[in-house]
Amino acid sequence: MAAELTYNEAVEKVMSLADFERNRTIPDHSSFHLERMSLLFDQYDNLHLKTPTVHIAGTNGKGSVAAMISSALSESGYLTGLYTSPHLHRVTERIRLNGVEVTEKDFAALVTETWPKICRVSNHSNFGGVTTFEMMTLLAFVYFSHQNVDLQVIEVGLGGRLDATNLVNPEVSVITPIGLDHVETLGGTIEKIAQEKAGIIKPGTPVVMAPQVSQARKVIVDTALDIGAGLIDVVEKCEWSGSSNVPNRQKVKVKTEHKEYEYELGLGGKYQIENSATSIMALEELSKKGYELFKSPAMLSNAFTKLDWPGRMEQIEFKGRQILLDGAHNELAIQRLLDSLAETDQPKTIIVFGALTGHSLQPMMNLLKDLTPNLVAVKSRHPKAVNFQEIEMAAKRANINVLAIDKSVSSGIKLAIESCDENQKILVTGSISVVAEAREWLLGIRPELYKNIRIVEKPGI
């Protein structure tokens, strides 16, 4: 039996595989397939099918919805596994049990256990090498199986139809708002992206559809009808409203066909109210299947108040300055951010902005100009980070005043703080990697660095 790996050795092995979250090469989606995951699951007697699953896809909000559903299930007494991506600071954030991330010891043990099987599939099948995301997906399912969870909440990584998570047979599927993102991989239109996201819909399984633009809505409705899945349209079946007097907390009312709910939500942003309504509709579908979720009127408040989902409308006070962090990384996310800001008394803003290759840079800048900001363009250490000069040019095309360009997120925030007066607020946005580095500097969090990213041209090579 192989000696157990240390945590650092385990992380190094996982990151030595093809990692398309961090690789600058944009994969051709036609090269993706599910055969490797099928072979991996075969070696574990298809354990992914033995635990009831909630499966969540979408462009924006899927991580938040996953966290909300997971928290509600845990609050109701169910031992709940949660798998999300990407992570902010450490890979262990992706795999959680009742909201608590897997320990370093357990993560190392999981990698030690699964690595021979990863190598067997990579080296002896006809489908190429296992990717980092595929291995993380396997680790999550194995961990949840070892822990005998009652339910598992699984967030799709990229797309849906050919995502490594899409071998589950869920109790309920959820599709959050769809917008243009990863267009080089998923397609350049809303319809094409929606087709990939709708690929998680299964025959006979209810699918909860969050509010969608008309093009995405038609694709999802048609897909559900074609394959015989029950469609729950949140817009048609639900009403919601909310108010907030303090950052990162909102009082919310949601009315469905079955019940009226009032609760506190421990996340800021108007869009999180909508996400909570979507989550409730998914929970009601689980209730119809016999899960006991609403035994206490305080369940939702208890579950949603304690939510810790950093980097989404997260407000941090630092040396007397108010700094808002929101990982809005595409046009739809920026619009939802602006909608949330419009409901508050916003002072003049300094934006610290960085983006990744594949994100819709110019459309985001065209929206951010409405804040009449001063902008600091930065480049995160993420391998796919866009150069700050490119951001500067896009900002100027949108008639945004560029205060400065900087080679790092931390120095960009320092400059923003030095330039900020009491009548200004600092907004950090553009990608989750920029938000992560901002949190690390502001809160003194030690980052987990990866030096062995494998450069590949196509998935599985």
Same domain, 124 and 219: yes
Q: Let me know if residue 339 belongs to a domain.
A: yes
Q: Of 305, 336, 360, which closes a domain? A: 305
Same domain, 115 and 189: yes
CA distance linking residue 329 with residue 368, whole number of Å = 12
Same domain, 347 and 434: yes
Q: What CATH number has the domain bearing residue 390?
A: 3.90.190.20
Same domain, 343 and 299: no
Same domain, 45 and 181: yes
CB 375, CB 402: distance < 8 Å: yes
Q: Of 284, 305, 326, which closes a domain? A: 305
Q: Let me know if residue 455 belongs to a domain.
A: no
Q: Let me know if residue 460 belongs to a domain.
A: no
What's the order of all strands across the beta sheet hosting 260-265?
238-246, 249-256, 260-265
Q: Give 48's contacts (C-beta < 8 A, 6+ positions apart).
A: 41, 141, 167, 168
What pLDDT sits at residue 383?
87
Same domain, 115 and 231: yes
Same domain, 129 and 250: yes
Same domain, 352 and 296: no
Q: Let me know if residue 331 belongs to a domain.
A: yes
Buried b (16+ CB within 10 A) or exposed e, 92-104: bbbbbbbbebbeb
Q: Of 260, 275, 305, which closes a domain? A: 305
What pLDDT sits at residue 411?
94
What pLDDT sits at residue 346?
64
Q: Let me know if residue 448 belongs to a domain.
A: no
Q: Let me know if residue 454 belongs to a domain.
A: no
Same domain, 221 and 280: yes
Same domain, 79 and 163: yes
Same domain, 292 and 393: no
Q: What CATH number has the domain bearing residue 122?
A: 3.40.1190.10
Q: Let me know if residue 149 belongs to a domain.
A: yes
Same domain, 318 and 284: no
Total number of domains in the chain = 2
What pLDDT sits at residue 29?
46
- Residue pLDDT tens, the chain, 461 long: 567 999 999 999 999 997 666 555 555 444 567 999 999 999 999 999 999 999 999 999 999 999 999 999 999 999 999 999 999 999 999 999 999 999 999 999 999 999 999 999 999 888 889 999 999 999 999 999 999 999 999 999 988 999 999 999 999 999 999 987 655 556 678 999 999 999 999 999 999 999 999 999 999 999 999 999 999 999 999 999 998 766 678 999 999 998 999 999 999 888 999 999 999 999 999 999 999 998 888 899 999 998 988 999 899 999 888 899 999 988 989 998 998 888 766 667 899 999 998 778 999 999 999 999 999 999 999 888 999 999 999 999 999 999 999 889 999 999 999 998 877 889 999 999 999 999 999 999 998 988 755 544 444 43
What pLDDT sits at residue 341?
87
Which range of residues forms the domain containing residue 403?
314-443
Q: Let me know if residue 417 belongs to a domain.
A: yes
What's the burial of 219, exposed, middle or buried (CB within 10 Å: 0-12/13-18/19+)? buried
